[in-house]
Structure 1
Amino acid sequence: MSLTVAELLVATLDEIGARQVFGIVGDALNPFTDAIRRQDKVRWIGVRHEEGAALAAAGQAKVTGRLGVCCGTTGPGANHLVAGLYEARKDHAPVLAISGGVAAAKRGSDYLQEDDPVALFRDVGVYSEIIASPDQAAAVIQQAIAHAYGERGVAHISIPPEVFAAKVPGPVPSIATLRPRPEVAPAAADIAALAQMIGEAKTVAVLCGFGCHAAAEELKALSDRLNAPLMHTYRGKDILPYDDPRWIGGIGLIGGRPGVDALHQADLMLMLGTDYPYSEFLPTKTRVVQIDERAFALGRRTPVALGIVGSVRPALRMLLDALPQRGDTAFLDAVNADRAKWDAMLDEKAALDRSPDMLHPQAVARAVSDRAAEDAVWVTDTGEVTLWAANWLRQSGRQQITGSFNNAAVGTGIGIANGVQALDTARQVILHAGDGGFTMLLGEFMTAVEHKLPVKVVVYDNSTWGLVHLEMEGAGVPPSEGASFPNLDFATFAQACGARGFTARTPHELTAAVDAWLAEPGPAILHAVVNPDEIPAMPHIDPGQALRFGISKVKQAFGALTRRG
């Protein structure tokens, strides 16, 4: 029995293991959505905004490494996908974006909602093509998915309705090739050169990125062999438990002073599976060796003495065979002593008895962290909330962390969380969101309610764009009029959506509110009204920055006096 293009696409998604398509229906998509309706393996999940569909697909691809799928109709339906698809582009996650096309007979006449879909998706995608004939459908579908996996990015296909409904002459070829890229072993000569450099270095520090996720055991063995501290990027935070003595912590604003100092003090830094973009936190005098699967990423953030193309796990297995055991633990001991002081400061900032009438965001993040399931998935929106969630979260080692890492887009959290939760509704998914970010795609909470996705959202309400506010103060500029805003009651909003809402305004209310919120079987919101003047813990603030913070506060105080006068 011959299939239509729509049926072939659905059958192909089923065969490669894609189980959900996120999107909003439209007339150009009718043959496709009907093909999904007539089978029971691939599920359509209707969202409230196409950006939410793209974010959900990207979220799935980020946490699994497997293809996420999203869909939008002609014109604006496809346009709205693009912003969310930058999540997959910037974090190198495989996503297939499907858009409905204007009928071929109408193209070129400035028809309703007509645009150039190939050009539209060209920057965000690694592949973009119109299927103009059913004869090309099988080959284009195969190529789109192959590019998404092979280049770890967004592939886009636009299909007009008459093509969607047309019969195809044959199946998609080479389906067995449509799978995630395998690990790549480095050259033996490069590993030998690295072993020699390690032998010449008295102290070694290791920076671990997202590319280390498959290599947790090898990282521990490397640390034990060299008595080397392991630091991590935010994307690598969940690889090991927070209390592992090898796992010192993060660097940069999403991290702490001990990790930054360790990298600067070591003779040799190994930069593993990361293209860490904030080069101001990377050492300038330490010798650096970088291992990454992407040759183009080697040496672009900081000068490297040796760049090795390969996956981290096979590289470390080869390296461990060439390294003798070291006995000197002085460097690791010193870093851990510094780390203990930093952790004590974090504990003090998160203490519930720090102030009786004011709820501090650090206390919220710590309370949620310590009560979460051992295998929870953490999703963090972008902004000041990222600093609270990242620095005060104490991960178990079985939990996963995701969010808008390299795109750093505010408002993406609820869409990503919905996609992750749709993978497994029995697994706890917790979203940390700022008030500004959460209201950007507020309707996507209704997606969670409609599809019974039990996402737990904690909204940090400080009635301001917190990170922007902080950046203004760091520049010595008093926050502008647009930096603050009024808010809705997020707990009441949850109830209006048919879910449950909880509120905490004081430390006394926090513990009970968190317990009740996490115990709720369906989607729920915790509205945490937090201190708007809290300043995150920063690894190093230079005198100029401190002065500018002070100047900003003086200007704010003077402005308040002037207004009262």
Structure 2
Amino acid sequence: MSLTVAELLVETLAEIGVRQVFGIVGDALNPFTDAIRRQDRIEWIGVRHEEGAALAAAGQAKLTGKLGVCCGTTGPGGNHLVAGLYEARKDHAPVLAISGGVPSNLRGTDYLQEDTPDLLFRDVAVYTQTVAAAAQAPAVFHQAIAEAYGARGVAHLNIPPDVFSAKVPHSVPSLATLRPRPEIAPAADDIAAALALIDRAKTVAVFCGAGCRGSEAELVRLSDRLKAPLMHSYRAQELLSYRDPHWIGGVGMIGSRAGVDAVKEADLLLMLGTDYPYGDFLPRHGNVVQIDERAFALGRRAPIALGIVGSVRPALTMLLDRLAQREDGAFFAKASAARREWDEMLDEKADPARSADRIHPQAVARAISDAADDDAVFVTDTGEVTLWAANWMRQTGRQRITGSFNNAAVGTGLGLANGVAALDRNRQVILHSGDGGFTMLIGEFMTAVEHKLPIKVVVYDNRRWGLVHLEMEGAGVPAADGASFPNMDFAAFARACGATGYTARDPATLLTTVRDFLAAPGPTVLHAVVDPDEIPAMPHVDVAQAWRFGIAKVREAVGGVLGRD
């Protein structure tokens, strides 16, 4: 029996393992959503804003490496997908975005909601195509999904309703090819060159990125073999337990002084599976070996001596087969001592009893981390909240961490968390969000309620755009109008949605409140009222920057006496 284009698309997605499609129903999508309704392999999850659909699909793809799918109908419905799709584009995650088109016979007449979607999606997508005829659909479906997997990015299809409803002559070919890319083994000559550079270096440090996933055992062996500290990007923080002695800390604002110093002070830095964008925290001496699957990423953040195209795990296996054991552990011991000193500072700032009358955001982040399930997934929105959640977390090594890593967009957390929760409703998903970010796409909390996605949302209420305040103060200027704002009662909002809400104001009851919050069934909000004047611990803030913070505070206090020019 022949299928319609809509039925073929649903069947194809189901065959390659897609289990949810996120979107909002409407006109041009009717044949597609009806085809989903008439089968039981793919779940339709209706969202409250199409951006939430794109974020949910991106959240799934970033966590699993498998295809996430979202859709929006004609014109504005598809347009709203674009902002959320940048999450997949910037974090190199495979997503298929489907937009409905105006009827084929009306294109070019300035019809209601008509636009040019292939032009609109061109920047965010590695592939974009309008399906103009049913006979075109099988090959285009294959190409779109293959591009999403092969280029690790967004593929976009625009399909008019008459094409969706038309019969298609045959199925999508070569489904077995539609899967994540396999690992790539590096060239043996490149490994030999890396061994020579390592042999000449007195001290070695290792900077690990998300490309190290699956290589955790090899990283530990490498650290032991070279007496080399392991530092990590934020995306790679999850790979090893916080308590693992090899895992010295992060680099940059989301990091530690121990990590920053070890990267800068080592004779040779190994950059493994990371395209870390902040070159100021990378060495400029050029004694760097970078290993990455993406040839275009080699050497673009810092000068390097050797770039190796390949996946981290096979590269480390080849290195470890030939690396000699080192005995001098002084550099590693120095980094470990610096880590212990930094950890003591973190512990002190995370103590709920540090103040009797206010809750510090570090205490919230640490309490959530320590009470979370051993295999929880943490989603972190963007802003000052990222610094609290990341720097005060003590991950188990089995937990996952995700967020807007390279797009760094505020307000993405709810959509990402919904997508992750839909993968497994029995796995704990915890979202750290600022008050500004939570209210940006607040309707997506109702998506969680409607579809029984039991996300746990911690809202840090400091009544301001916290990172904006820090940036302004770092520049020595007072915070501008609009940098602060009033807030609703977020716990009451959760209850109004039919969910559960808690409020934390008293540091004496913080730990009990956090435990109750995480134990509550279904979607739940914790409204954490935190000290708005807390400044994150940043290992790279120098004396001049600290002085500018002070000047800004004085200017705010005197309210213009010193002038605002």
- TM class by smaller structure: over 0.9
1:15 equivalenced with 2:15 (yes/no): yes
Q: Is the 8 A contact 1:253 1:387 kept in 2?
A: yes
Q: Is the 8 A contact 1:265 1:286 kept in 2?
A: no
1:483 counterpart residue number: 483
Q: CA deviation at 1:543?
A: 2.4
Structure 2 gaps of 5+ residues are none
State the distance in 1 between where 2:166 and 2:279 align. 52
Q: Is the 8 A contact 2:60 2:423 kept in 1?
A: yes
State the distance in 1 between where 2:281 and 2:365 align. 25
State the distance in 2 between where 1:535 and 1:130 align. 49
State the distance in 2 between where 1:557 and 1:171 align. 69
1:300 counterpart residue number: 300
State the distance in 1 between where 2:450 and 2:142 align. 33
1:150 counterpart residue number: 150
State the distance in 1 between where 2:59 and 2:372 align. 20
1:463 counterpart residue number: 463
1:271 counterpart residue number: 271
State the distance in 2 between where 1:56 and 1:124 align. 16
508-517 vs 163-172, which deviates more?
508-517
State the distance in 1 between where 2:312 and 2:553 align. 46
Q: Is the 8 A contact 1:234 1:390 kept in 2?
A: yes
Query: What aligned pairs does 1:75-154 form with structure 2 within 5 A after superposition?
Result: 75-154=75-154
Q: Secondary structure at the match of 2:509?
A: helix
Query: What aligned pairs does 1:51-450 form with structure 2 within 5 A after superposition?
Result: 51-285=51-285, 287-450=287-450
Q: Is the 8 A contact 2:285 2:303 kept in 1?
A: no
Percent same amino acid among aligned pairs? 73
Task: Note the alpha carbon deviations across 1:330-379, whole angstroms, 9 max, x for none.
Answer: 11011000100000000000011101111000000000000000000000
Q: Is the 8 A contact 2:555 2:562 kept in 1?
A: no
State the distance in 2 between where 1:508 and 1:543 align. 35
Q: CA deviation at 1:286?
A: 5.7
State the distance in 1 between where 2:83 and 2:438 align. 16
Q: Is the 8 A contact 1:478 1:553 kept in 2?
A: yes
* Number of equivalent positions: 563
Aligned residue identity for 2:516: A
Aligned residue identity for 2:469: H
State the distance in 1 between where 2:57 and 2:236 align. 21
Task: Note the alpha carbon deviations across 1:123-155, whole angstroms, 9 max, x for none.
Answer: 000000000100000000000000000000000
State the distance in 2 between where 1:46 and 1:283 align. 47
265-274 vs 544-553, which deviates more?
544-553
Q: CA deviation at 1:536?
A: 0.3
Aligned residue identity for 1:284: R
State the distance in 1 between where 2:208 and 2:100 align. 41
Q: Secondary structure at the match of 1:149?
A: helix
State the distance in 1 between where 2:521 and 2:223 align. 41
Q: Is the 8 A contact 1:71 1:78 kept in 2?
A: yes
Compute the TM-score of the two structures, normalised by the length of structure 2.
Answer: 0.99
Q: Is the 8 A contact 1:135 1:168 kept in 2?
A: yes
Q: Is the 8 A contact 2:374 2:398 kept in 1?
A: yes
In structure 2, the CA distance between the partners of 1:32 and 1:211, relative to structure 1 (3 Å rule), is same
Task: Note the alpha carbon deviations across 1:130-184, whole angstroms, 9 max, x for none.
Answer: 0010000000000000000000000000000000000000000111100000000
Q: Is the 8 A contact 2:98 2:157 kept in 1?
A: yes
1:500 counterpart residue number: 500
2:4 counterpart residue number: 4
State the distance in 1 between where 2:354 and 2:138 align. 63
Q: CA deviation at 1:426?
A: 0.3
Q: Is the 8 A contact 1:490 1:527 kept in 2?
A: yes
State the distance in 2 between where 1:270 and 1:89 align. 26
State the distance in 1 between where 2:430 and 2:62 align. 16
Aligned residue identity for 1:225: R
Q: CA deviation at 1:6?
A: 0.3
Q: CA deviation at 1:560?
A: 7.6
Aligned residue identity for 2:66: R
Aligned residue identity for 2:262: A
State the distance in 2 between where 1:541 and 1:514 align. 32
State the distance in 2 between where 1:78 and 1:29 align. 11
State the distance in 1 between where 2:562 and 2:66 align. 58
Aligned residue identity for 1:79: N
Q: Is the 8 A contact 1:264 1:285 kept in 2?
A: no
Task: Note the alpha carbon deviations across 1:270-299, whole angstroms, 9 max, x for none.
Answer: 000000001111112361110000000000
Q: Secondary structure at the match of 1:214?
A: coil
Q: Is the 8 A contact 1:208 1:236 kept in 2?
A: yes
Q: Secondary structure at the match of 2:258?
A: helix
Q: Secondary structure at the match of 1:458?
A: strand
Q: Is the 8 A contact 1:192 1:322 kept in 2?
A: no
State the distance in 2 between where 1:238 and 1:331 align. 24
Q: Is the 8 A contact 1:269 1:286 kept in 2?
A: no
Structure 1 gaps of 5+ residues are none
Task: Note the alpha carbon deviations across 1:78-127, whole angstroms, 9 max, x for none.
Answer: 00000000000000000000010000111101110000010011000000
Q: Secondary structure at the match of 1:483?
A: coil
State the distance in 2 between where 1:405 and 1:506 align. 32
State the distance in 2 between where 1:105 and 1:464 align. 50
State the distance in 1 between where 2:101 and 2:78 align. 9
108-117 vs 280-289, which deviates more?
280-289
State the distance in 1 between where 2:76 and 2:509 align. 44
Q: Is the 8 A contact 2:286 2:304 kept in 1?
A: no
Task: Note the alpha carbon deviations across 1:242-289, whole angstroms, 9 max, x for none.
Answer: 011100010100001100100111000000000000111111236111
Q: Is the 8 A contact 1:264 1:286 kept in 2?
A: no
State the distance in 1 between where 2:116 and 2:519 align. 48
159-168 vs 282-291, which deviates more?
282-291
State the distance in 2 between where 1:512 and 1:90 align. 38
Q: CA deviation at 1:468?
A: 0.5
Compute the TM-score of the two structures, normalised by the length of structure 1.
Answer: 0.99
Aligned residue identity for 1:115: D
Task: Note the alpha carbon deviations across 1:195-238, whole angstroms, 9 max, x for none.
Answer: 11111111000000000011001100100101100000000000
1:530 counterpart residue number: 530
Q: CA deviation at 1:303?
A: 0.2
CA RMSD of aligned residues (A): 1.0
In structure 2, the CA distance between the partners of 1:562 and 1:488, relative to structure 1 (3 Å rule), is farther
Q: Which runs of 4+ in 1 moved over 3 A?
A: 560-563
Aligned residue identity for 1:223: S
Task: Note the alpha carbon deviations across 1:41-69, whole angstroms, 9 max, x for none.
Answer: 01110000000000000000000000000
Q: Is the 8 A contact 1:57 1:70 kept in 2?
A: yes
State the distance in 2 between where 1:154 and 1:104 align. 24
